[in-house]
Structure 1
Amino acid sequence: MTTRIHDTARLARANPIAKLAAAFALTIALVLTVDWVSATVALAFELAVLPLTGLTYAMLIRRGWPILAAAVMGGYSTALLAPDGGGTVLDLAIVTFSADSITAGVAILLRGLAIALPGVMVLTCTDPTDLADGLAQKLRLPHRFVLGALAAMRLVGLLMEEWRTLGMARRARGAGSHGGWWARLGAEASQGLALLVQAIRRATRLAVTMEARGFGGAQRTWARASTYSRIDVWVYAGGVLASAAAILAAMAAGTWNPIWG
């Protein structure tokens, strides 16, 4: 599925560095202020261009539900702990939610989604090898760092497959399939530890192999050059314009709330 997205996504033709720069420009508006208007504008732009990455909205929900859950929990915690103001909206006896606390919670929820979504979009429509080429050739990052990041991205899919394999093997032995939620949680933790050990061993073998084959040397050649094209200008301009629109919309609505204020 990942390879298919890389091949069909329109934004896959853009240089990975341009996509990273656009994502960085877009998140500037979300870092400077904490308000629901700027976050809404940024999130609306991201959802509008989402189909260009090859993802559908159903795929985003199916794959990104942990991000959504984390954003909801962050918004709820903020609404719970934020100072009351603007009148009580919801009274649950144990806790109460005011208009100001709910506004703060919604702002954090939307802000979390808007900050996380660009990373998901970039990784979805970017081939790891193209990203590594851009990081080394355009940003001049150290070769060993770039190759280590490339290896890590390539191994993510393998780790997911191994997680499923470990789970099936443990269930075949009857481990982790019985008992209450505490026993199941312990089984998941044990399985995670086993996967971590395997990942460390594989990373060690991969590092030794890459070192033996000359990766990270002082002189390197590249099989393909990382170049910029006209689409990269549009990608970066879109990120900058969306960031500016989010900031201006917040100022016009009177919700601009700088983090240093």
Structure 2
Amino acid sequence: MNLIRDINPVTRILAVIALTTPLLISVDVVSAAIALAATIALSPLVGVSWRQLFRRGWPLLVIAPIASVSMALYGRPEGEVYFSFLLAQVTDNSLSLALAIGVRVLAVGLPVVVLISRLDPTDLGDGLAQVARLPERFVIGAVAGGRLVSLFRDDWSSMSRSRRARGIADQGRIRHFVTMAFGLLVLSLRRGAKLATAMEARGFGRRPDRTWARASTVGLVDATVILICLLISITAITVSIQTGYFRFLGT
């Protein structure tokens, strides 16, 4: 089952906003934990297995403890003091904030990993232009640029082999990086100019009767995904308020 392919790219972006934005009004572990548990439980239903979720979300597992430690040391000191050194103070309140921030980082980040999984730039461009009604020239240019970014690694490797074949050896890593980066910049500008000319010649900037090779539509699946994300975030905040853990951001 791979439901993620049936979800419009614009819907994925809106679903992430619907799920994560309500979580930003409170710094508590309950609402974040509920949203995190729901994300992990539902990810296989949209085609992202728990193994894939872990493989793609491991940077968040590194960032979350770092954010927690900094909050534990420098969060607002309240309650019993367990440790104090210069500006660092570990108290009941800072530990509570540290736990909430750690879980919150995962609760906000993992939905992005799930919903943006296998997002094709061309499909995203079609959705932004046809569904979100963004300016067509801007969207097409952004998609073309995104496609060219994937060529940077190949260009870097080709330039490196070419320089070695010509006997050009830079002394030092910094000098090598600067010369290679400048060469990549020149190559990118030339390629961008040729692409712009080719796109203009093929009528990519034509208005107002532009046609699209693939139609981008939204349907019942898209509405269901957004509704589920809203229900998760609303439930998380409601439970947090009912249990007394709700803590408005900044308080």
Q: Distance in 1 between matches of 2:27 and 2:18?
A: 16
2:127 corresponds, among 116, 130, 134, to 134
* Structure 2 residue ranges without an equivalent (≥5): none
- TM-score, normalised to structure 2's length? 0.78
Please tell me whether the aligned partners of residues 26 and 242 of structure 1 are also in contact (alpha carbons under 8 angstroms): yes
Please tell me whether the aligned partners of residues 53 and 124 of structure 1 are also in contact (alpha carbons under 8 angstroms): no
Please tell me whether the aligned partners of residues 45 and 242 of structure 1 are also in contact (alpha carbons under 8 angstroms): yes
1:97 aligns with 2:90: yes
* Structure 1 residue ranges without an equivalent (≥5): 1-7, 176-182
Aligned to 1:179: none
Please tell me whether the aligned partners of residues 74 and 108 of structure 1 are also in contact (alpha carbons under 8 angstroms): yes
Give how far 1:131 is off: 1.9
Aligned to 1:257: 247
Deviations 1:156-179 (Å, cap 9, x if unpaired)? 54446667x48x96xx99x9xxxx
1:220 aligns with 2:220: no
The one-letter code of the counterpart of 2:95 is I
Q: Distance in 2 between matches of 1:188 and 1:65?
A: 31
* Residues 1:138 and 1:94: Cα distance change in structure 2 (over 3 Å): closer
Aligned to 1:111: 104
For these two proteins, the number of residue pairs brought into alignment is 245
Deviations 1:49-91 (Å, cap 9, x if unpaired)? 2223433333333333333323332222222211222324567
The one-letter code of the counterpart of 1:98 is T
1:76 aligns with 2:65: no
The one-letter code of the counterpart of 1:225 is A
Please tell me whether the aligned partners of residues 159 and 195 of structure 1 are also in contact (alpha carbons under 8 angstroms): no
Q: Distance in 1 between matches of 2:179 and 2:240?
A: 46
Q: Distance in 1 between matches of 2:48 and 2:183?
A: 28
1:11 aligns with 2:4: yes
Q: Distance in 1 between matches of 2:68 and 2:176?
A: 27
Aligned to 1:4: none
Q: Distance in 2 between matches of 1:199 and 1:111?
A: 39
* RMSD between superposed Cα atoms in Å: 3.6
The one-letter code of the counterpart of 1:106 is L
Q: Distance in 2 between matches of 1:188 and 1:255?
A: 54
The one-letter code of the counterpart of 2:199 is M
Q: Percent identity?
A: 39
Give how far 1:220 is off: 0.8
Secondary structure at the residue paired with 2:116? helix
Once the two structures are superposed, the pairs formed by residues 166-205 of structure 1 within 5 Å of their partners are 193=181, 197=185, 202-205=191-194
Please tell me whether the aligned partners of residues 29 and 247 of structure 1 are also in contact (alpha carbons under 8 angstroms): yes
Larger radius of gyration: 2
Give how far 1:31 is off: 1.9
1:246 corresponds, among 220, 236, 242, to 236
